[in-house]
Amino acid sequence: MSGTTLIAIGAGVFIVIVLAVAVISIRGQNAQVVEERLERYSEALEPITEDEKTRGKDAKKKPEKRQETALTQRLDKALEKRGVGSRIQTELARADLKLTVSEYFALHGLSAVGIAMLGYLLFGGQIALAIIAGAIGIFVPRFYVAYKKGKRLSEFEVQLPDTLGLWVNSLRSGYSTMQSLEAISREAPEPSATEFKRIVREVQIGIPQEQALAHLMDRMPSEDLDLIVTAVNIQREVGGNLAEILEVIGHTIRERIKLKGEIRVLTAQGRITGYVIGGLPIALGLFLYLINKGYMSHLTDDHGCGWPMLAIALGLIGTGTAVIQRIVDIKL
Protein backbone atom coordinates (compact mmCIF):
# COMPACT_ATOMS: atom_id res chain seq x y z
CA MET A 1 0.00 0.00 0.00
CA SER A 2 1.49 3.34 -1.07
CA GLY A 3 2.10 6.31 1.16
CA THR A 4 -0.60 8.34 -0.60
CA THR A 5 -3.17 5.66 0.13
CA LEU A 6 -2.19 5.58 3.79
CA ILE A 7 -2.46 9.36 4.01
CA ALA A 8 -5.91 9.27 2.38
CA ILE A 9 -7.12 6.55 4.75
CA GLY A 10 -5.72 8.41 7.76
CA ALA A 11 -7.35 11.67 6.69
CA GLY A 12 -10.68 9.94 6.18
CA VAL A 13 -10.55 8.26 9.58
CA PHE A 14 -9.65 11.59 11.20
CA ILE A 15 -12.63 13.31 9.56
CA VAL A 16 -14.96 10.54 10.69
CA ILE A 17 -13.69 10.79 14.27
CA VAL A 18 -14.06 14.59 14.29
CA LEU A 19 -17.62 14.41 12.97
CA ALA A 20 -18.53 11.67 15.46
CA VAL A 21 -17.14 13.67 18.39
CA ALA A 22 -19.00 16.80 17.21
CA VAL A 23 -22.32 14.99 16.92
CA ILE A 24 -21.93 13.24 20.28
CA SER A 25 -20.98 16.53 21.93
CA ILE A 26 -24.00 18.30 20.51
CA ARG A 27 -26.27 15.42 21.50
CA GLY A 28 -25.03 15.62 25.08
CA GLN A 29 -25.92 19.30 25.19
CA ASN A 30 -29.47 19.39 23.85
CA ALA A 31 -30.96 15.90 24.04
CA GLN A 32 -34.66 15.93 24.79
CA VAL A 33 -34.89 19.73 24.91
CA VAL A 34 -38.61 19.84 24.13
CA GLU A 35 -39.39 17.07 26.62
CA GLU A 36 -37.50 18.85 29.37
CA ARG A 37 -39.37 22.11 28.74
CA LEU A 38 -42.73 20.36 28.86
CA GLU A 39 -41.64 18.49 31.97
CA ARG A 40 -40.69 21.74 33.67
CA TYR A 41 -44.14 23.24 33.11
CA SER A 42 -46.19 20.11 33.71
CA GLU A 43 -44.54 19.19 37.01
CA ALA A 44 -45.82 22.41 38.56
CA LEU A 45 -49.39 21.30 37.81
CA GLU A 46 -49.09 17.72 39.06
CA PRO A 47 -50.38 16.85 42.56
CA ILE A 48 -47.84 16.20 45.28
CA THR A 49 -48.05 12.69 46.69
CA GLU A 50 -47.41 11.70 50.29
CA ASP A 51 -44.04 10.18 49.38
CA GLU A 52 -42.90 13.43 47.86
CA LYS A 53 -43.97 15.33 50.97
CA THR A 54 -41.89 13.06 53.17
CA ARG A 55 -38.87 13.21 50.91
CA GLY A 56 -38.94 16.99 50.76
CA LYS A 57 -38.18 19.39 47.98
CA ASP A 58 -34.56 18.34 47.67
CA ALA A 59 -35.59 14.94 46.32
CA LYS A 60 -37.22 16.57 43.28
CA LYS A 61 -34.20 18.63 42.31
CA LYS A 62 -32.57 17.53 39.08
CA PRO A 63 -29.08 18.27 37.85
CA GLU A 64 -28.92 21.19 35.48
CA LYS A 65 -28.59 20.38 31.80
CA ARG A 66 -25.90 21.81 29.62
CA GLN A 67 -27.15 24.47 27.25
CA GLU A 68 -26.77 24.60 23.48
CA THR A 69 -23.85 26.50 22.04
CA ALA A 70 -24.52 29.78 20.23
CA LEU A 71 -23.34 28.30 16.92
CA THR A 72 -25.73 25.35 17.23
CA GLN A 73 -28.65 27.61 18.10
CA ARG A 74 -28.03 29.90 15.12
CA LEU A 75 -27.62 27.01 12.74
CA ASP A 76 -30.81 25.32 13.97
CA LYS A 77 -32.80 28.55 13.67
CA ALA A 78 -31.49 29.20 10.16
CA LEU A 79 -32.44 25.70 9.03
CA GLU A 80 -35.82 25.68 10.77
CA LYS A 81 -36.89 28.83 8.94
CA ARG A 82 -36.61 27.02 5.63
CA GLY A 83 -39.22 24.64 4.31
CA VAL A 84 -36.85 21.69 4.26
CA GLY A 85 -35.98 22.27 7.91
CA SER A 86 -39.63 22.20 8.91
CA ARG A 87 -40.19 18.96 7.01
CA ILE A 88 -37.14 17.36 8.61
CA GLN A 89 -38.36 18.38 12.06
CA THR A 90 -41.69 16.68 11.36
CA GLU A 91 -39.97 13.50 10.16
CA LEU A 92 -37.71 13.38 13.23
CA ALA A 93 -40.70 13.89 15.52
CA ARG A 94 -42.58 11.05 13.81
CA ALA A 95 -39.55 8.79 14.27
CA ASP A 96 -39.15 9.98 17.91
CA LEU A 97 -35.48 10.81 17.37
CA LYS A 98 -34.11 13.50 19.68
CA LEU A 99 -32.10 15.23 16.97
CA THR A 100 -32.04 18.80 15.73
CA VAL A 101 -31.97 19.67 12.04
CA SER A 102 -28.27 20.56 12.15
CA GLU A 103 -27.41 17.25 13.80
CA TYR A 104 -29.42 15.41 11.17
CA PHE A 105 -27.39 17.06 8.39
CA ALA A 106 -24.17 16.33 10.30
CA LEU A 107 -25.10 12.65 10.36
CA HIS A 108 -25.42 12.74 6.57
CA GLY A 109 -21.84 13.93 6.27
CA LEU A 110 -20.60 11.43 8.83
CA SER A 111 -22.35 8.56 7.07
CA ALA A 112 -21.09 9.59 3.64
CA VAL A 113 -17.45 9.85 4.75
CA GLY A 114 -17.54 6.64 6.76
CA ILE A 115 -19.12 4.51 4.03
CA ALA A 116 -16.86 6.06 1.39
CA MET A 117 -13.81 5.03 3.40
CA LEU A 118 -15.27 1.56 3.90
CA GLY A 119 -15.87 1.25 0.17
CA TYR A 120 -12.34 2.45 -0.55
CA LEU A 121 -10.91 -0.32 1.64
CA LEU A 122 -13.24 -3.06 0.39
CA PHE A 123 -12.83 -2.30 -3.31
CA GLY A 124 -9.05 -2.15 -3.26
CA GLY A 125 -8.52 1.59 -3.55
CA GLN A 126 -10.97 2.25 -6.39
CA ILE A 127 -11.73 5.98 -6.09
CA ALA A 128 -14.81 5.79 -8.33
CA LEU A 129 -16.38 3.02 -6.28
CA ALA A 130 -15.54 4.84 -3.06
CA ILE A 131 -17.32 7.94 -4.37
CA ILE A 132 -20.37 5.84 -5.27
CA ALA A 133 -20.33 4.27 -1.80
CA GLY A 134 -20.15 7.75 -0.26
CA ALA A 135 -23.08 8.91 -2.37
CA ILE A 136 -25.10 5.94 -1.12
CA GLY A 137 -24.00 6.70 2.44
CA ILE A 138 -25.60 10.14 2.26
CA PHE A 139 -29.03 8.50 2.17
CA VAL A 140 -28.43 6.07 5.06
CA PRO A 141 -29.71 8.48 7.79
CA ARG A 142 -32.79 9.19 5.70
CA PHE A 143 -33.47 5.48 5.27
CA TYR A 144 -33.02 4.95 9.01
CA VAL A 145 -35.44 7.77 9.87
CA ALA A 146 -37.99 6.38 7.41
CA TYR A 147 -37.60 2.91 8.94
CA LYS A 148 -38.02 4.20 12.49
CA LYS A 149 -41.01 6.31 11.49
CA GLY A 150 -42.74 3.42 9.73
CA LYS A 151 -42.05 0.99 12.56
CA ARG A 152 -43.28 3.40 15.21
CA LEU A 153 -46.44 4.25 13.28
CA SER A 154 -47.15 0.57 12.71
CA GLU A 155 -46.78 -0.20 16.42
CA PHE A 156 -49.01 2.74 17.30
CA GLU A 157 -51.75 1.59 14.92
CA VAL A 158 -51.62 -1.97 16.28
CA GLN A 159 -51.97 -0.63 19.83
CA LEU A 160 -54.92 1.65 18.98
CA PRO A 161 -57.70 -0.90 19.72
CA ASP A 162 -56.28 -1.69 23.16
CA THR A 163 -55.70 2.02 23.78
CA LEU A 164 -59.30 2.76 22.91
CA GLY A 165 -60.41 -0.05 25.23
CA LEU A 166 -58.48 1.56 28.08
CA TRP A 167 -59.96 4.95 27.15
CA VAL A 168 -63.53 3.57 27.15
CA ASN A 169 -63.06 1.82 30.49
CA SER A 170 -61.68 5.01 32.04
CA LEU A 171 -64.66 7.05 30.80
CA ARG A 172 -67.13 4.50 32.12
CA SER A 173 -65.35 4.59 35.48
CA GLY A 174 -66.19 8.28 35.78
CA TYR A 175 -62.98 9.84 34.49
CA SER A 176 -63.03 12.93 32.31
CA THR A 177 -61.44 12.94 28.87
CA MET A 178 -58.15 14.40 30.11
CA GLN A 179 -58.03 12.03 33.09
CA SER A 180 -58.58 9.14 30.68
CA LEU A 181 -55.72 10.37 28.48
CA GLU A 182 -53.49 10.61 31.55
CA ALA A 183 -54.40 7.04 32.48
CA ILE A 184 -53.47 5.92 28.98
CA SER A 185 -50.12 7.69 29.27
CA ARG A 186 -49.39 5.66 32.41
CA GLU A 187 -50.76 2.27 31.42
CA ALA A 188 -50.33 1.98 27.65
CA PRO A 189 -47.15 0.53 26.09
CA GLU A 190 -44.76 2.50 23.95
CA PRO A 191 -45.13 4.45 21.69
CA SER A 192 -48.75 5.14 22.73
CA ALA A 193 -47.72 6.12 26.26
CA THR A 194 -45.27 8.77 25.04
CA GLU A 195 -47.70 10.25 22.52
CA PHE A 196 -50.60 10.57 24.95
CA LYS A 197 -48.27 11.90 27.63
CA ARG A 198 -47.37 14.71 25.23
CA ILE A 199 -51.07 15.51 24.82
CA VAL A 200 -51.53 15.76 28.59
CA ARG A 201 -48.48 17.98 28.98
CA GLU A 202 -49.51 20.29 26.16
CA VAL A 203 -52.98 20.74 27.66
CA GLN A 204 -51.45 21.40 31.08
CA ILE A 205 -49.39 24.29 29.74
CA GLY A 206 -52.43 25.91 28.14
CA ILE A 207 -52.70 24.45 24.64
CA PRO A 208 -56.33 23.67 23.68
CA GLN A 209 -57.24 20.02 23.54
CA GLU A 210 -58.19 20.21 19.85
CA GLN A 211 -54.78 21.64 19.00
CA ALA A 212 -52.98 19.03 21.12
CA LEU A 213 -54.85 16.29 19.27
CA ALA A 214 -53.94 17.95 15.97
CA HIS A 215 -50.29 17.82 17.02
CA LEU A 216 -50.73 14.10 17.68
CA MET A 217 -52.09 13.73 14.15
CA ASP A 218 -49.02 15.51 12.79
CA ARG A 219 -46.74 13.08 14.60
CA MET A 220 -48.86 9.99 13.84
CA PRO A 221 -50.50 10.39 10.40
CA SER A 222 -52.95 7.50 10.67
CA GLU A 223 -56.42 7.18 9.17
CA ASP A 224 -57.62 5.32 12.26
CA LEU A 225 -56.31 8.05 14.54
CA ASP A 226 -57.93 10.67 12.32
CA LEU A 227 -61.27 8.96 12.87
CA ILE A 228 -60.76 9.01 16.64
CA VAL A 229 -59.70 12.67 16.76
CA THR A 230 -62.65 13.70 14.60
CA ALA A 231 -65.07 11.82 16.84
CA VAL A 232 -63.63 13.40 20.01
CA ASN A 233 -63.77 16.92 18.56
CA ILE A 234 -67.37 16.47 17.36
CA GLN A 235 -68.42 15.06 20.73
CA ARG A 236 -66.98 18.13 22.47
CA GLU A 237 -69.12 20.38 20.28
CA VAL A 238 -72.46 18.52 20.10
CA GLY A 239 -72.25 16.20 23.11
CA GLY A 240 -73.07 12.51 23.29
CA ASN A 241 -71.73 9.36 24.89
CA LEU A 242 -68.04 9.36 24.02
CA ALA A 243 -67.48 5.90 25.50
CA GLU A 244 -69.98 4.30 23.13
CA ILE A 245 -68.57 6.19 20.15
CA LEU A 246 -65.01 5.09 20.90
CA GLU A 247 -66.16 1.52 21.48
CA VAL A 248 -67.69 1.38 18.00
CA ILE A 249 -64.57 2.94 16.48
CA GLY A 250 -62.39 0.43 18.32
CA HIS A 251 -64.38 -2.47 16.85
CA THR A 252 -64.00 -0.96 13.37
CA ILE A 253 -60.25 -0.53 13.82
CA ARG A 254 -59.86 -4.14 14.98
CA GLU A 255 -61.63 -5.37 11.85
CA ARG A 256 -59.45 -3.19 9.64
CA ILE A 257 -56.27 -4.45 11.30
CA LYS A 258 -57.46 -8.03 10.82
CA LEU A 259 -58.17 -7.36 7.14
CA LYS A 260 -54.77 -5.70 6.68
CA GLY A 261 -53.08 -8.76 8.17
CA GLU A 262 -54.88 -11.05 5.75
CA ILE A 263 -53.91 -8.87 2.81
CA ARG A 264 -50.29 -8.80 3.97
CA VAL A 265 -50.23 -12.61 4.11
CA LEU A 266 -51.69 -12.89 0.60
CA THR A 267 -49.18 -10.39 -0.84
CA ALA A 268 -46.13 -11.79 1.02
CA GLN A 269 -44.94 -13.77 -2.01
CA GLY A 270 -45.04 -10.70 -4.24
CA ARG A 271 -43.12 -8.57 -1.75
CA ILE A 272 -40.43 -11.21 -1.27
CA THR A 273 -40.16 -11.58 -5.05
CA GLY A 274 -39.51 -7.86 -5.33
CA TYR A 275 -36.80 -8.01 -2.68
CA VAL A 276 -35.09 -10.98 -4.36
CA ILE A 277 -35.26 -9.53 -7.86
CA GLY A 278 -33.93 -6.20 -6.65
CA GLY A 279 -31.23 -7.41 -4.29
CA LEU A 280 -29.89 -10.55 -5.97
CA PRO A 281 -28.15 -8.87 -8.95
CA ILE A 282 -26.46 -6.30 -6.71
CA ALA A 283 -25.35 -8.88 -4.15
CA LEU A 284 -24.09 -11.20 -6.89
CA GLY A 285 -22.15 -8.39 -8.57
CA LEU A 286 -20.46 -7.38 -5.32
CA PHE A 287 -19.64 -11.00 -4.52
CA LEU A 288 -18.04 -11.56 -7.94
CA TYR A 289 -16.05 -8.35 -7.62
CA LEU A 290 -14.64 -9.40 -4.25
CA ILE A 291 -13.64 -12.93 -5.29
CA ASN A 292 -12.57 -12.22 -8.90
CA LYS A 293 -11.71 -8.59 -9.58
CA GLY A 294 -10.22 -9.37 -12.96
CA TYR A 295 -13.48 -10.80 -14.23
CA MET A 296 -15.49 -7.77 -13.12
CA SER A 297 -12.86 -5.21 -14.11
CA HIS A 298 -14.15 -5.34 -17.70
CA LEU A 299 -17.14 -3.33 -16.47
CA THR A 300 -15.10 -0.81 -14.50
CA ASP A 301 -12.14 -0.07 -16.76
CA ASP A 302 -11.74 3.40 -18.19
CA HIS A 303 -11.99 2.59 -21.90
CA GLY A 304 -15.21 0.56 -21.79
CA CYS A 305 -18.88 1.32 -21.45
CA GLY A 306 -19.28 -0.60 -18.20
CA TRP A 307 -20.18 2.37 -16.01
CA PRO A 308 -23.14 3.49 -18.17
CA MET A 309 -24.31 -0.13 -18.28
CA LEU A 310 -24.11 -0.42 -14.51
CA ALA A 311 -25.98 2.86 -14.06
CA ILE A 312 -28.74 1.74 -16.44
CA ALA A 313 -28.93 -1.65 -14.72
CA LEU A 314 -29.30 -0.06 -11.28
CA GLY A 315 -31.97 2.27 -12.58
CA LEU A 316 -33.95 -0.61 -14.11
CA ILE A 317 -33.58 -2.69 -10.94
CA GLY A 318 -34.83 0.19 -8.80
CA THR A 319 -37.75 0.84 -11.16
CA GLY A 320 -38.77 -2.82 -11.21
CA THR A 321 -38.59 -3.12 -7.43
CA ALA A 322 -40.67 0.03 -6.98
CA VAL A 323 -43.31 -1.21 -9.44
CA ILE A 324 -43.58 -4.58 -7.66
CA GLN A 325 -43.95 -2.93 -4.25
CA ARG A 326 -46.55 -0.59 -5.68
CA ILE A 327 -48.57 -3.50 -7.02
CA VAL A 328 -48.62 -5.42 -3.72
CA ASP A 329 -49.34 -2.27 -1.64
CA ILE A 330 -53.13 -2.53 -1.44
CA LYS A 331 -54.90 0.39 0.19
CA LEU A 332 -58.04 -0.15 2.23
The dihedral region occupied by 206, where left means phi > 0, alpha psi between -120 and 50, and beta the remainder, is left
pLDDT of res. 302: 59
Give yes or no for residue 13 having a pLDDT over 80: no
Across 147-171, average pLDDT: 89
Question: Which one is predicted more confidently, 37 or 223?
Answer: 223
What is the DSSP annotation of 264-328? HHHTHHHHHHHHHHHHHHHHHHHHHHHH-HHHHHHHHSTTSSHHHHHHHHHHHHHHHHHHHHHHH
At 246-259, the pLDDT tens digits run 889 988 888 888 88
| Percent residues over pLDDT 70 in the chain | 73
What is the DSSP annotation of 140-178? HHHHHHHHHHHHHHHHHHHHHHHHHHHHHHHHHTT--HH
Q: Which residue type does 199 have?
A: I
The answer to pTM > 0.75 is no
